[in-house]
Structure 1
Amino acid sequence: MNALLTVAGQEIRAGIRNRWVVATTLILAALALSLVLLGSAPAGTTGASPTAVVVVSLATLSIFLVPLIALLLSFDAVVGEAERGTLLLLLAYPVARWQVVLGKFVGHTAILALATVVGYGAAALLLFLRDAAEPGDWAGFAGLIGTSILLGAAFVALGSLASIAVRERATAAGLAVALWLVFVLIYDSALLGLLVVDQGQVVSGGLFDALLLLNPTDVYRLINLTGSGAASLLSGMSAPGEADQLSTKLLYGALCAWILVPLGLGVLVFSKRQP
């Protein structure tokens, strides 16, 4: 455990030296604060509170931004060290390979979590100072922060797996871009095209729900944009398919699986990799 924390601490220190922590925090804070200042205009017509509007807006934009930041943090976690020749030195220390993978994952996730809490927390503080939030809105905002961290962790795990599976940093970068394009842009477009072609003949409500669970960004979207009446009203979404099959526990479980499965595969592949 000490070795794991040492590796994680090294990644955090590297993130501080490389300005990743500051840059990520500033990006998320600027996004969140701009939405607080400019994004509450629809509240007057929908009757929803400004906080609900901010939660929906942040959740929508986080789907694009958080996975990208997570992949940029993690795509060269292993392959970058291999190219620089420091991976052999790291493995020469009394540290297990699984500790290397988990330590880097913990370090990168901690950077992203810190940036998310501080960045989105600044927006929450501004909402509090402006007295723009109702008491029931804070649970939704806290859920947004928590699920954003989980979404980031899922893509950190995917980026780490990509970094372990290839031998060149350029290949890992291309794979990271491909992962972002597939999960953030292409998957939903392909799913929509499938629904149009199928016309409800094969893809039933239950199968559609299962297909949504195969994309971590869709799981995140369902948690934050269909979790409350205000969010559903503002986002124009309702629970798809058979709503009772997609309980909150199932959605959170699916998001956690998107963290654990790539991470487990990364540990397995790295255990067989020659430095």
Structure 2
Amino acid sequence: MSPIVAVAAKEFRDRLRNRWVLAVAVVFAAFSFAITYFGGAGEGRIGPSSIELTIASLVSLVIYLIPLIALLLGFDSIVGERERGSLDLLLALPITRLELLLGKYLGLAAALALATLAGLAGVAVLLAQRFGAAGLFHYGGFMASSVLLGLAFLSLAMLLSTLARDRARASGMAIALWFAFVLVFDLLLLGLLVAGSGQLAGMAQDLPAYLLLLNPADVFRILNVFSLDDVRRLYGLASLVPPALGNPWLMGGAMAAWIVVPLALAAWRFRP
């Protein structure tokens, strides 16, 4: 494990040294505070009215920002080393390709997790002052799932970095992947749902809902929104998402698969 730990520590220190973690944490803190404290200003209220509605508001922020940050963080982790000519030097050291890949992933994952938790922790303090520590159970789960979402897209970024021939193509693929998962996927699924309205029968009626598992951003949304009864009724998810998808263990397993599978494919692609 020592080569993996050494590479991970170097990647983590590099992100701390170039102020990357601080910059991301400040961005998250600013947006999360603004959404939490001023999100209800249009209705004539200031501050969080409930933890459930606060989480529902922050879900959209996390879905847009964390995947983009994770993809931009990891898209050049391998192809960048190859383009700079330092990859051959690294592989000349007593370290395998798998150890190098895992070390880079763990270092970047630690930096991303620290930035995410630091950026969201300020809202936890605000909620604790308003509702007490007992009301932070759901928010703690939201913070943990936000980290998992970032790790899933970081795994996808590592896969892109092993597939791309140069940094320019890797960056283009990363942006395209963000558009596909965050913007395009739900529009296509909604079109499928509308086109098949009234024509799907039996188990096929739940097919569009289960297709949500093919998108880690939607897995994150269901994991945080469907488990909250008030928000579920507000969003109308009770009639669209089958109860089976409300199982947090199932959705947690789906998120874990989105972390492990792309990273395993990256390791397979990066093999000698």
Pairwise CA distance, 1:208:
1.9
Task: Determine the C-alpha separation between the residues in 1 that align with 2:139 and 2:44.
Answer: 20
Q: What is aligned with 1:199? A: 197
Task: Determine the C-alpha separation between the residues in 2 that align with 1:133 and 1:50.
Answer: 8
Deviation larger for 94-103 or 146-155 = 94-103
Task: Determine the C-alpha separation between the residues in 1 that align with 2:132 and 2:195.
Answer: 44
8 Å CA contact 2:52–2:228 kept in 1: the answer is: no
- Percent of pairs with identical residues: 42
8 Å CA contact 2:159–2:265 kept in 1: the answer is: yes
Pairwise CA distance, 1:106:
0.9
Task: Determine the C-alpha separation between the residues in 2 that align with 1:42 and 1:140.
Answer: 25
Q: What is aligned with 2:109? A: 109
Pairwise CA distance, 1:200:
4.0
Q: What is aligned with 2:147? A: 149
> Residues 147-166 of structure 1, C-alpha deviation per residue, up to 9 Å, x if partnerless?
00000000000001000111
Q: Does 1:75 align with 2:75?
A: yes
Q: Does 1:187 align with 2:150?
A: no
8 Å CA contact 1:39–1:53 kept in 2: the answer is: no
8 Å CA contact 1:32–1:123 kept in 2: the answer is: yes
TM-score between both structures, scaled by the size of structure 2: 0.92
Aligned Cα RMSD in Å? 2.0
Q: What is the count of residue pairs matched by the alignment?
A: 268
Change (3 A) 1:164 1:186: same
Q: What is aligned with 2:270? A: 270
Amino acid aligned to 2:266: G
SS at match of 1:94: coil
Task: Determine the C-alpha separation between the residues in 2 that align with 1:56 and 1:244.
Answer: 20
8 Å CA contact 1:205–1:241 kept in 2: the answer is: no
Task: Determine the C-alpha separation between the residues in 2 that align with 1:20 and 1:162.
Answer: 21
TM-score between both structures, scaled by the size of structure 1: 0.91
Q: Does 1:240 align with 2:263?
A: no
Change (3 A) 1:109 1:200: farther
Pairwise CA distance, 1:236:
4.3
Change (3 A) 1:241 1:122: closer
Task: Determine the C-alpha separation between the residues in 2 that align with 1:151 and 1:257.
Answer: 11
Q: Which runs of 5+ in 1 are unaligned?
A: none
Task: Determine the C-alpha separation between the residues in 2 that align with 1:161 and 1:115.
Answer: 22
